[in-house]
Amino acid sequence: MRFSVSVAGLLCGLQAATALRVGPRIAVEREEQVQAARVKRSLAKREDTDPTLLYPEYNISVPIDSFHNETRYEPHSNESFNLRYWFDDTYYKPGGPVFVLLGGETDGSDRLTFLQKGIVHQVIKATNGLGVILEHRYYGTSFPVPDLTTKNLRFLSTEQALADVDYFAKNVQFEGVDADLTAPNTPWVVYGGSYAGAQAAFLRVQYPETFWGAISSSGVTVAIYDYWQYFEPARLFGPPDCIKNTQLLIDVVDGILIRQNDTAKVQALKDVFGLSDITDNRDFANQLTGVYGLQSTNWDPELNSPSFFDYCQNITYVEQKAENLRPAVAELVSAAGYPNSTVVQDITLNAIAWINSTSLPGWRQSNRTQDSYFTTLNATSFQQYTSLEDYDLTSWSYQVCSEWGFIQTGNTPADIMPLISRTLDVDYLTFFCRAQFGIESPPDLWQVNKYGNRSIDYERLAFIGGNSDPWRPATPLWYPESRNSSTDHPWLLISHGVHHWEENGVFENQTTPDLPPPQVVYAQQFLKNFVVDWVEEFEQQKSHYEL
């Protein structure tokens, strides 16, 4: 299946972000995300951009419930549902592997470009393999239930999703391929990035007879409830001036909101930021979270978001744009513990200008109150997302609340200045769990961590990720800083890399001296080399047993 570059470019324009999801910060962002997703699905139906013109979609019937002995899935189901997948057999030759990219927490069609020019394309070309994109249950069109009410989300769990992949590998028949490629008769290698990277690692440990090898790219194999560590890579590897200025800004904000806790000063702080009518202090502090953008940086211009560097450029700006507010800012900065500090005043003025150019324009055009526009504490706005087309704002949120956690708080240890306000705590940031799903207790992290967490290890299980990835603290790559790598236990940190940077690629005739960057080229070649070795090892063992 070879496809034109021109059509591929159209598909790229529809590709969603591939990172582990950080939820919308305010109700308006949730509404905008739903509308954007619906527009995207509408565009996908146009003849010139339909991904099925590139790769036909297929479905396989899999069990809804693979764990009838587990009470948490009661009432159990004996039914099946369609799990969607795509494949590319362009380079397949007998003896080649099946290389599966797990779709993770998004529509599986968003991953189709990886068949054309990403890591799947590169591996199957190097190994004479067959490439697969496999959608995750409760995403895209792969739904085992008629709606996303809480009672119908009970089958959305880590172990049920892993069982789907195992069933798929043992039962799928690829249309037009005159060979039985089911596992374990064929070497199956599974790859995933981020949440799907954790899945890949878990599959190798849980179903070692099915999956010959697995590659966990930025795989978050340890579930953490209060995930303040999300900001540690930014603190350690981000632009020093941007990071230091952000820490000072947040210390001023917390100095007023927490240490002073004076009603008049709190109101004065909101006033200078143009956010006078936000009632809840946490909703106010939640607007000062520009460092979140690091996760969305990428070496590929088509996937890169400039938001992090735009924020850093603004917070380190040397010419002030809100000089008329300096007297009021100077008083607040002094009250927060920085008397006569023009440096901290300048940083605060920069932040005010940044808020005025990013957050406030949308509110001004909305004709809404600041409370209704900026709050995250509107239960009604969460409770409306129960139809299947709302999975963008429901499925991963449920997984967060039920098993995974990853609540990105400002709750750093006392000796670390945070990059977001300490008022942004677990209670505030889990409001949606209570409002949307009625989940009052912390997630059952054991359902994830039972597979091995940071200590997870197995023969032919690889770990790759960027050293600056905000999700690195939840991966085996966080500590130690380096370890010995081997063909059986590959391990690689991508220098200056962020979130599973080796997954995407460019067409071979469009490479430049800078794209992909050298460390990504190396990571992709490193990955291809050990997969080639794994396939050769499979053939050697197979020949040995046949003698």
Dump pLDDT digits (tens) for 432-478.
Answer: 999 999 999 999 999 999 999 999 999 999 999 999 999 999 999 99
Q: What is the mean pLDDT of residues 329-339?
A: 98
Residue 144 — very low, low, confident or very high, per pLDDT cuts 50/70/90? very high
Q: Per-residue pLDDT tens for 244-273?
A: 999 999 999 999 999 998 999 999 999 999
Question: What are 292's two structure tokens?
Answer: 């979140």
pLDDT at 418: 98
What pLDDT, on a 0 to 100 scale, did the predictor assign at position 31? 65
- pLDDT recorded at residue 74: 98
pLDDT for the residue numbered 10: 24
Instruction: Give yes or no for a contact between 245 and 350, defined as CB atoms under 8 angstroms apart.
Output: yes
Residue-range domain boundaries for the chain:
51-223+449-546, 225-437
On whether the CB atoms of residues 361 and 274 are closer than 8 A, the answer is no
The packing angle between helices 240-254 and 307-315, to 10°, is 70
Secondary element (H or E) of residue 158: helix 158-171
Instruction: Quote the CA–CA distance of 364 and 392 in Å, as a whole number.
Output: 27
- pLDDT number for residue 20: 64
**Is-cis flag, bond preceding 480, omega within 30?**
yes
Superfamily grouping for domain 51-223+449-546: Alpha/Beta hydrolase fold, catalytic domain (3.40.50.1820)
Query: For the CA atoms of 322, 325, 329, 330, what is the dihedral angle to 10 degrees?
Result: 110
pLDDT of residue 422: 98
Percent pLDDT > 90 in the chain is 85
Average pLDDT across the chain, whole number: 91
- What mean pLDDT do residues 103-117 have? 94
Q: Which residues are catalytic?
A: 194, 469
- Find the length of the chain: 547
Q: Model's pTM, two decimal places?
A: 0.92
**In contact, 445 and 225? CB cutoff 8 Å:** yes
State yes or no: pLDDT of 45 exceeds 50: no
Strands, DSSP E only, in 349-446?
405-407
b/e per residue 513-526 (b: at least 16 CB within 10 A): eeebbebbeebbeb
pLDDT at 18 over 60: no
| pLDDT higher than threshold 90 for residue 16 | no
